[in-house]
Amino acid sequence: MYEDLFEKLSRSKFRSRFHLKDKDKQYVADKGIETIREHAEDLINKKIAAAFIANDGKQTPMKGHPVFIAQHATACCCRGCLKKWHHIKPGKELTNQEKDYVVEVIMKWIGKEMEGYVSHEKKEELIGQKKDGRSDREKNEEYEQLKFDFDNLR
């Protein structure tokens, strides 16, 4: 069911333009995926779930939180898009099932974006493992060098 949706989204020029930047991914890694899910639940409850939303179509910023970006990428940004893409009727409050579905779609997209991402802490840990068996000075130099390289990779 999600595969069809993600296939369709990938064919939309507008939707497929959205991606998490390195700083967004770092934020997700820092907060942990469960906290991000709580943020998503919170945002859906406050901005999307009500039967009537005065600023519908404008309630989701284009940046500032990974969930915002995921909402635009998955067409979970407003009731208009939920109707068009997910066949969820406007003019009534979202059911718990619909809220769960929307959060699941958002989290699936974030999960896909996070595939292969190595957090800064993890990189430093990996660098640490390579340093074993050398002098402290060598270790430090190598560490600084690797840190430098990672910073330039981005």
Residue 77 in contact with Zn ion, rule: CB under 5 A:
yes
Separation of alpha carbons 73 and 109, rounded Å = 8
Residue closer to Zn ion (CB basis): 20 or 82: 82
Q: Tell the residue number behind the tokens 């930047």, with chain if given.
A: 21
Distance, CA of 110 to CA of 137 (rounded, Å): 40
**Of 61-69, 71-79, 111-119, 122-130: span binding Zn ion (CB under 5 A):** 71-79
Q: Which residues inside 80-119 make contact with Zn ion, applying CB under 5 A? A: 81
- Output the smallest distance, CB 126 to Zn ion, in A: 40
Toward Zn ion, which CB reaches closer, 32 or 57? 57
Sign of CA dihedral 14, 116, 41, 31: negative
Which of 11-19, 61-69, 72-80, 138-146 is the region at the interface with Zn ion (rule: CB under 5 A)? 72-80
Asked if residues 58 and 97 have their Cβ atoms less than 8 Å apart, the reply is: no
Interface with Zn ion in residues 127-146 (CB under 5 A):
none
With beta carbons less than 8 A apart as the criterion, state whether 127 and 143 touch: yes
9 lines the binding site for Zn ion (CB under 5 A):
no
Q: Which of 78, 103, 106, 107 binds Zn ion (CB under 5 A)?
A: 78
Q: Which of 109, 26, 98, 29 is nearest to 67 (CA)?
A: 109
Applying CB under 5 A, the residues found at the interface with Zn ion are 77-78, 81
